Structure 1
C-alpha cells in the first residue's frame, strides 16, 4: 500500500500519524466523482455553496436523501476505512465530524429534516455520529480513534440552529464514555460552550482556534482548556516547524492559494530554514 511509505517515514523519525476519515455528503459535485454521481445527504437540501471542478467553480446540486439502509452502509464504510488505515501503518484515525461534511449535516437543523430515528430530536440527530464512532472503535480500538467537531461552524452552508449547542452537549457526553484517543475541536469563539465541553470530555482535548497567531499557540494549554495544541498549515509551510519554534522563527508564511490543488507546489516545496 502506498500509505505504508508515508507511515514508515513518520515512524522512522519518531512521529505518530492518525489518518482522517471523512464523507463529504452533500458537499460534492457530480463532475468530481466517478460515473457523475449525485451527492448524498441526510435530506435532499442543497448547501447553497459552490465547489471547484475541472471546469471551474460550480453550484453544488441538490443531494439525494440517504435511505436508512444506505446510512448503515456508510457506517460500514467508515469501519472499513479505519481498518485500511491501520493496515497501512497508521497509529489511529480521526473521524471528521466538522466543516459541514456528512456527520455535521446530520447534526444540523438546516441540513437534516428527517422524520425517522436519524432526525428531529437531539438524540436522533446525534445518532449517526455515535454509530460511526462505535463502529470504528469496535474495528480498531478506542485508543486509536479520535474525532473532530466544529460547533457553531457555518462552513459549506451549515446552520446548526438553536439546538446546536444542545446536540454537542449530548453527543460529547455520550462519546466521552468511550475512552477515545482525543477530541479535536474547531473553536469559533463561544467560550462558555468550550468550558462546558472541557468539563464533559474526560480524554485529551485539542482546541483549534480559528485565526490563532503562532505567538498564542500555547494559550489553551497554559489555561487548562486543552491538552494538545494543533498546528495545521504552519506545519505544512514549515517542514522543520519544531526547530523553528524552538528558535522562535523565522517561519514560512502558508500560501492559501495552493491548498487542495494537488502537485508539489504548496505541499512539498516549502524550504527548510537552512535552505
Structure 2
C-alpha cells in the first residue's frame, strides 16, 4: 500500500531538519522509576523509534504538584536531568530528535500518587470526579486546592525551570501540554475555571495562563525549541468547553495570542471541527501537527495533503512498530497493538515489539 508522497518530503521545524513528515505522538506509558527518573528501558523505547525523526515524549511533570499518575517521569530534579540525558543520548545516537512534553495534570491527580501527598491544584476548587488508579486501588480524584495568583506565578516558574532542565538534559526542545483535560486545559474550560480574577471569566482571561506559560518557556529556552499541544472540545477529565461557537471563540483567541511568540509548532489533538482547524492553521505562522483518533493507515497523510498540517504524529502504529517508518515506506504489514500492556510496566508491550528484521 503506497502512501502519499507528501509524507516523505523533508521539513524544517524550529532548529531541526526532519527527513519526513512523521513524528512520535506523546503517550503516557508509566515506566519511570518511583522517583520519576527515566531509566534504561525508557531510553531503549525511544531510541527504537528514533527513525520517526521528531520524538515527543510522554507527559513529564514539571513539579511534585504536576504528577497525576503512578510511574510518570519528572524533569525538575538533578536525578531527572541525568536520566533524561541518557534518553536524549540514545535517541540522538539513532539519528532522532527529542522534545520532552511538559505535563502538569492539575486536578487529575490523587495525593497517594504524588511525592508530597498533598491535594491537587487547579484553577478552581472543583473536583474532576474521575476514577484514578493508585497503589491502594481505584479512588476518586479529590476536590483540588484553588491556585492563588501568586501560586499561578509559581507554577509558571516551574514550567520555566522544567524547560531549562530539559535542555540541560540534552533534549532538542519541549512541548507544553495544554490539552487532554490537564491543568492548562482546565483554565480554558468554564466548568473547571470559575475564577473571578484576571485568570477567569472571559475568553481572554481564561487564555491568560496558557499564554503566560508559553511565553515564559519560550523566553527560557527559545521559541524555536518550544511547541504547544491543544485539544479543542476534548471532554477529557470532566471538562466541558461549551458549544461549538464557544470553543471556536476560545481557541481562535488563544492561538491568536500564542502566534506572535513564534513557537516551533502547534500540535492539535483534533476531534473533527475542520472549520476550526483550518482557521487555526491560517493563524499559525510556523509548523502545525495534527493527530486524530482512529486514523487508518491510508489516512495518515490526509491532513498534510489538505493543507491542514505539516506533520502527522503517530500513536498506536508507532507503539506497536518500532520500525513504523520503514513499514510505511515499503507497504509492509503492521504489528497490532496490545492494549493490555500499555501501563503495566516492564518490557512487555513496550520494547519487545518485533521489527521486520526480527520476523
Q: Normalising by the residue count of structure 2, what TM-score does the alignment of the two structures yield?
A: 0.75
TM-superposition CA deviations, 1:58-87 (whole Å, max 9, x none): 111111101111110000000000000001
Runs of 4+ in 1 over 6 A off after TM superposition: none
Aligned to 1:116: 197
1:1-275 to 2 correspondence within 5 Å? 1-162=82-243, 163-275=246-358
Shift of 1:261: 3.0
Shift of 1:34: 2.1
Structure 1 CA distance for aligned equivalents of residues 136 and 295 of structure 2? 34
Q: Give secondary structure in 2 for the equivalent of 1:243.
A: helix
Contact 1:108 1:164 in 2 (8 A): no
Q: Which has the higher contact order (CA 8 A, sep 6+)?
A: 2
Structure 2 CA distance for aligned equivalents of residues 112 and 124 of structure 1? 10
Greater displacement, 106-115 / 264-273: 264-273
Listed as ranges, the gaps of 5+ residues in structure 2 are 1-81
Shift of 1:57: 1.8
Alignment: residue pair count: 275
Contact 1:176 1:200 in 2 (8 A): yes
TM-superposition CA deviations, 1:216-253 (whole Å, max 9, x none): 10011111110001112321211111111111121111
Listed as ranges, the gaps of 5+ residues in structure 1 are none
Structure 2 CA distance for aligned equivalents of residues 9 and 76 of structure 1? 29
Structure 1 pair 6/35, CA: closer, same or farther in 2 (3 Å)?
Answer: closer
Structure 1 CA distance for aligned equivalents of residues 126 and 247 of structure 2? 18
Contact 1:51 1:59 in 2 (8 A): yes
Aligned to 2:22: none
Structure 2 CA distance for aligned equivalents of residues 260 and 134 of structure 1? 33
Contact 1:107 1:164 in 2 (8 A): no
Q: Give secondary structure in 2 for the equivalent of 1:100.
A: coil
